[in-house]
Structure formats: structure tokens, C-alpha cells
Amino acid sequence: MQPTTGNLVADTICRTVEIGLTITGAADAGNITVIDATPVAVSNACPECSRPGKLRDHVLRRLVDLPVVGFPTRLHVRVPRFTCTNQPCPRKIFQACLSCADDGAKLTHRVTRWIMQRLAVDRMSVSATAKVLGVGWELVNQVAVDACRQLVYDNPSHLDGVRILGVDEHVWKHTRKPGQPSSLVTILVDLTPLVDGRGPARLLDIRPGRSAQVLRGWLQERDPGFRKQEQVVTMDGFAGYATAVDEVLPQATKVMGPFHVVHLAADKLTRCRQRLQRETQGRRGRKDDPLYKHRRTLLTRRNYLTQRQKQRLEMLWATDDDYVALEVTWLFYQDMIAAYGHPKKSEGKKLMSRVINSIRKGLPEGLTELAQLGRTLWRRREDILAYFDVGASNGPVEAINGRLEHLRGIALGFRNLDHYILRSLIHSGQLQARINAL
């Protein structure tokens, strides 16, 4: 079919030529633009026997296409049907295939790519994407999860090159109802591109639950080549993850990142402050209580304290001998931060090793929280000190954890875990290149 000048302009504006169609007419159906089109090239070969067929009639196929000037668009494509001329062929009637959409699909291929780009690049919600297209939420969500499943789980190269693996827990929904399934999941992140300087970390997979069995099962499902190439696994302080790595990846180096170590020390410092608050005041902290008033200053790194904050802390330590335990715990907390902040990793390792050995045992009475911290650090000392040799940490995993929190806010919460996992992979799986190739 040779397009006219008017059709050529319309084909250029709507870019229908690139999907193998030419426009024959258009209509305004309220908020929707309806475009009539026909295929540029048609094959009359029978899909069963490949013999040429005889034209029988035409059918109208309705497809959702990209919006035009901000309005949802529907393509009404006049598709020919043929009768197979080969008598032994079981296929008597067949319809011509379109290059722009799969048989039975409601959307063109480029709409599927557009949906994935809006979700992955622009961080749009499914409901907002569906509104722009003028279709239902269920259709857009199903298209997105099906495309993500194809890009991730059906892609044999998805796990190629993963040498540094990050593991962490994540809360995918908040619920207080008894009997509800666990809201905790285990997220697995590829840190290799970040460490090599090739790009950001990417989310690999999410598994329901938080236990050694969850991580052990995921690792055992991978092929031996994947398990053999793993060199480093970063994690938090949960002993179950460490147990699973020791069993399945004995050659990998376990790393407990600075984020979790400092957070653990900060938690013990806070507990010490709360205990002393109850012992000295007989109640929880109030705004004018000295311990409660300085709760945030206590958790601030020494280098970031203002002169006024330093003076307040000095006055706090000099005011009451009851705060000696808090002062000692605070000093060790600051020493740990200084060890991680040292410009030379070798010196930082020595400082951290000195801290761990100092609070391992033999502490005076009254340093309950610091003694608990010392026992924990001693049990995980190899994983903690490994950071200074490897350089990989769980910080990027925590960053992805935060991005997933943002995703849950965009969607106003999730109820279906499978949908949440696939949407998370779209959001943080670094799939943009694969999406653009759809």
C-alpha cells in the first residue's frame, strides 16, 4: 500500500511505520484517540504448512498504543484472514501476524517497553502509568511482572559475573495482625559492579523469610559455577546468614560492614543511656533531663560535633559520677567510628582490633552494655576485620533497602509478595539496558 501525503504526515507523527503499520483514518472518541491502520506488509503463508493462502476476509484487531499528544491511543488494525489452499493441512483459516504485537496481545511491543521504562527509569506508579494509557491497573501490572520475569528469571546471564554478594533483611510490609505471614524477606544484591567501578549495585533477587535456611536454599539452587566464583559475602550481624555462607560457600570471605557494626555499638550506647536514665531519675527521659537532652549528640561522630556540643558533653561527664559508664561506652563508640574513618585501612584495622581486644572481657561492673558489645564483636571479629582487607561493605545493600521503602510508598503498600518482588527488581535491578532492548 502506497501511503498518501496526509497519511505520510500522520505516520511520521505517530511513528506507526516503525511498527509496520500505515494510518488510514482517525477519530476522536472522547478522551481516547482511535487510529485506523493497516499492515504495511502482509504474509499469506500458512503457519502450519507454509503454503500461500487465499484471502478470505478481514478482521479488526484493537491494540493499545503509545499516547498521542497526551491522550490514550487505540489502534484499530484491519488484519486480513486467509484460507489455506493445501487440502491435507489441518489449519483451514489463519490470520496474518503483526510485527508490532504478539498474537492475542492487547498492547503493542513498544507499549510494553514504555511501561517498563516508566516504572524503572521515571519511578512512576502502576496506577499513574495505567491512567496515561487509559487502561486498567491489572493489565499494566500483569504486563510489568511478566516482562520482569522474562528479563530476570528467564535470562540465563542474569547472575553472570557476580563475585561480591550482599545479603540483608528487609520488611516488605508492616502489619500487627496475629497470624499474618512473616513480613521479613531476604534481599540479595550484586556489589561487584560497584567495587570494580563499573556501575551501581543491583538487586538480584528477594526471598521470603529471614533465616539460614532461606539463604542456604537460594545458594544451593544456583549452579556450581556461580557458587565457585563467589569471593566475598557482605551481611549484617545476623548469625543465620553467616552459618549459611560457611556451609555453602566455604571459600568466600564474610564481611560484616561498618554500617551494622556502628549501628550495633550505637544501640548499646542508647541502651546504656536509657538504663542510667531509669536508675538516676526513676522514669523515662523527659526533654529537660540531661541524658535525654543529649541523646542525639551522643550518637554524633566526634569530628562533626560543634564547639558548643563538645562543651555540653564535657559538662555532662563532669556533673555526675553516675554517668561514668555512659562516658566509657561513648569513648569506645567514637574509637570504632575513628577506626573506620582512618585514611589507611591497615591502621584502621589495628585500631578496630585494639577496640575488640579491649572490651572482650574483664570489664568492671556497671559496663553491662559494653560487655555485651564486646562479646558480640569478639564472636564476629574475623568478619568485622575482613572489611579492612576487602573494602566491600553492606552500605550499598542498605541503600537499596531504602529505595525499596520508597517503592512501597509510591505504590501505597503491597499485598502480593510476588508482585512486590518483581516490582522491586524493576525498580532496583538495573534492568534499563535490557528494557530498552525490548
Helix H segments across 134-257?
137-152, 192-196, 212-221, 224-229, 239-248
403, 432: one domain? yes
Question: What is the full DSSP assignment across 209-220?
Answer: S-SHHHHHHHHH
Pairwise CA distance, residues 255 & 349, whole Å: 13
pLDDT digits (tens, 9 = 90+) for 190-213: 999 999 889 999 999 999 999 999
Q: Give the CA radius of gyration of the chain.
A: 31
* SS3 of residue 43 by DSSP: coil
Task: Report d(CA 136, CA 219) in Å as an integer.
Answer: 38
pTM of the entire predicted model = 0.83
User: Which of the residue ranges 50-54, 256-260, 320-324 would you say has the lowest mean pLDDT?
Assistant: 320-324
Looking at the predicted structure, is the pLDDT value of residue 13 above 90? no
3-state secondary structure of 342: coil
Q: Which helix (H) or strand (E) holds 253?
A: strand 253-256
399 and 345 in a common domain: no
Instruction: Please name the amino acid found at residue 295.
Output: R
The count of structural domains within the chain is 3
Q: Are 361 and 430 in a shared domain?
A: no
In a domain, 156, yes or no: no
CATH number at residue 189: 3.30.420
> Which pLDDT does position 17 carry in this prediction?
86
Look at residue 368 in the predicted model and tell me its pLDDT.
93
Long-range contacts formed by 147-150: CB under 8 A, 24+ apart:
147/112, 147/115, 147/116, 147/435, 147/438, 148/116, 148/422, 148/423, 148/425, 148/426, 148/429, 148/431, 149/422
378 with 267, same domain: the answer is yes
Statement to judge: residues 299 and 267 lie in one domain: yes
Provide, rounded to the nearest whole percent, the portion of the chain with pLDDT above 90.
72
In the predicted structure, residue 306 carries a pLDDT above the cut 90 = yes
Q: pLDDT band at residue 218, thresholds of 50, 70 and 90?
A: very high
pLDDT for the residue numbered 15 = 87
pLDDT tier for residue 436 given thresholds of 50, 70 and 90: confident
Q: Which of 384, 403, 426 is the last residue of a domain?
A: 384
Question: What is the C-alpha to C-alpha distance for residues 424 and 405, in angstroms, rounded to an integer?
Answer: 10
- State residue 372's pLDDT score: 96
Return d(Cα 243, Cα 386) in angstroms, integer: 17
Per-residue confidence band for 8, with pLDDT thresholds at 50, 70 and 90: confident
- For 328-385, how does the pLDDT look when each residue is reduced to its tens digit (9 = 90+)? 999 999 999 999 999 999 999 999 999 999 999 889 988 999 999 999 999 999 999 9
Residues 250 and 267 in one domain: no
Residues 6+ apart with CB under 8 A from 357: none
In this model, does residue 3 exceed pLDDT 60?
Answer: no
301 and 329 together in one domain: yes
* pLDDT for the residue 178: 54
Task: Quote the CA–CA distance of 320 and 308 in Å, as a whole number.
Answer: 19
- Beta-strand pair 53-68/32-39: unpaired
Q: How confident is the model at residue 267 (pLDDT cuts 50, 70, 90)?
A: very high
**Is residue 233 domain-shared with residue 299, that is, in the same domain?**
no
For 125, what's the count of Cα atoms within 13 Å in the CB-facing half-sphere?
A: 14
- In this structure, is residue 192 part of a structural domain? yes
Asked whether residue 6 carries a pLDDT value surpassing 60, the answer given is no
Check whether residue 82 and residue 54 sit in a common domain. yes
**CA nearest to 341, candidates 408, 418, 262, 435:** 262
Which has the closest alpha carbon to 378: 411, 397, 350, 352?
352
Is residue 145 one of the residues assigned to a domain?
no
**pLDDT for res 298:** 95
Using CB atoms within 10 A of its CB, is residue 333 exposed (0-12), middle (13-18) or buried (19+)?
Answer: buried
Beta bridge partners, 45, equal 52
pLDDT given for residue 180 in this prediction:
56
Domain of residue 96: give its range.
Answer: 5-106
In 3D space, the residue among 212, 215, 207, 260 whose CA is nearest the CA of residue 236 turns out to be 260
| Model confidence at 216: pLDDT above 70 | yes
Residue 3 is which amino acid?
P
The answer to whether position 327 is within a domain reads yes
Least confident of 8-12, 137-141, 251-255, 288-292: 8-12
